[in-house]
């Protein structure tokens, strides 16, 4: 092979390299466009959903903290009110029972006093009737 033929082959090979590089460059550009077409809309859609989701999550987290504080406060208040309610119900029952016991004691005391008086009056009545009967039989 002559020097010129070798130079020509080198030149042809270099030209082939240039063509391969150009083809690769075209394919790269085409691949980039193809991948962008497949992914960019999905990426943008997902990104906007992500941003909305992050805002909603932040808002929900803040509300959750508020509600947790409110829940803790109400738990204490409700517990306190339940104890107060239970104590008042018990207190009412005790007070009513005590009052009814006092009324019963007072009733028994008064009745006993009246029964004693009735007994004394019956004795007097029996004595008067006996005296009257004696005086009628004596006559």
For 10, 57, 66, 69, the CA distances from 2, given in Å and listed in that order, are: 12, 77, 90, 93
What was the pLDDT predicted at 134? 83
In the 8-state DSSP scheme, what is residue 126? Answer: H
pLDDT tens digits for 83-105? 999 999 999 999 999 999 999 99
pLDDT reading at 107 higher than 80: yes
Task: Taking residues 33-58, report their average pLDDT.
Answer: 93
**Does the pTM of the predicted model rise above 0.75?**
no
């Amino acid at each position: 092979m002559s020097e010129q033929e070798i130079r020509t082959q080198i030149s042809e090979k270099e030209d082939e390299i240039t063509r391969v590089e150009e083809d690769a460059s075209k394919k790269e550009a085409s691949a980039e466009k193809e991948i962008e077409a497949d992914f960019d809309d999905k990426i943008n859609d997902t990104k906007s959903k992500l941003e909305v989701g992050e805002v909603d999550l932040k808002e929900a987290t803040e509300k959750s903290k508020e509600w947790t504080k409110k829940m803790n406060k109400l738990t204490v208040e409700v517990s306190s009110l339940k104890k107060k309610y239970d104590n008042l119900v018990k207190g009412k029952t005790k007070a009513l029972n005590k009052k009814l016991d006092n009324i019963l004691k007072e009733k028994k005391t008064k009745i006993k006093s009246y029964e004693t008086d009735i007994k004394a009056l019956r004795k007097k009545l029996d004595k008067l009737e006996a005296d009257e009967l004696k005086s009628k039989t004596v006559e």
